[in-house]
Amino acid sequence: KSAAGITKAINLTTNVTALVVFLLHGQVLLVLGLVAGTFNIVGNYLGSHSFSKNGGAVARPITIVVLVIFFAKVIWDFVA
């Protein structure tokens, strides 16, 4: 249990440090980051509640579609 907590603390520290470094160098698109973060939070909220109510009936097909799209992109990048 403590290893997971230590990992989260280290991850948070490195993420905050990277953000500070990129901010100092003017390499951060704040609006894009805030929009992406908002959609990430909303997606996680909707996904967790949907899975809690419907189980794998919703999560499984969405996961398969996402994996197929990702696989197609990898193949496209490899061929092109």
Q: What is the per-residue pLDDT across 25-40, written as a single tens digit (0 to 9) for each?
A: 999 999 999 999 999 9
For residue 18, what are the CA distances in angstroms to 21, 26, 75? 5, 12, 32
Rounded CA gap, 59 and 77, in Å? 27
- pLDDT tens-digit series, residues 63-75: 899 999 999 999 9
Range of the domain at 66: 2-79
pTM listed for this prediction = 0.57
Indicate whether 2 pLDDT > 90. no
Indicate whether 15 pLDDT > 80. yes
40-60: average pLDDT: 85
The total domain count for the chain is 1
